[in-house]
Amino acid sequence: MTAQEVYELALALLDDIESDGTVSDDTEDSYGARAIPFINSLQHEIAYAEGIEPKKITSLSDELVISKDSCYRVLQYGLAAKFALADQSMDMYSVYQSEYKTALRTIKASESSITDSINIMSGF
């Protein structure tokens, strides 16, 4: 999933999408420059929860390394919360930040096999 897709999902949550599904120039001017650093910050936190290495994006056309599920269920709410906070819309911030934190806790960490190279578990 690209950063642009998540950006548009977050704007839809904030009701900043035009009726034809496009992003207006005013909205782009207001949120566009802030989107990349916000997405990088959130993606880093989500990647850590997923147990993968984060990768910074440099444009909204870049692919995100986190799972598509996390983009839909987690990242869009975090991004909407950041935008709402930047707009000083505390009611919207509270709702979306709560959704983000709740969804972040549901990410299942990846499991990896552990080899007992010093045989510490032999007595158990």
List the chain domain ranges: 3-107
CB neighbours of residue 119 within 10 Å? 7
CB neighbours of residue 45 within 10 Å? 17
Res 22 pLDDT > 70: no
Q: Which helix (H) or strand (E) holds 15?
A: none
Are 16 and 49 in contact by the 8 Å Cβ rule? The answer is no
pLDDT value of position 59: 93
pLDDT value of position 42: 97
Q: Would you call 67 exposed, middle or buried from its count of C-beta atoms within 10 A (0-12, 13-18, 19+)? A: middle
* Alpha-carbon dihedral 75, 52, 4, 61, rounded to 10 degrees: 170
pTM of the model: 0.81
Q: Could you report the per-residue pLDDT of 53-110, keeping only the tens digit for each? A: 999 999 999 999 999 999 999 999 999 999 999 889 899 999 999 999 999 999 987 6
- pLDDT band of residue 18 (cuts 50, 70, 90) is low
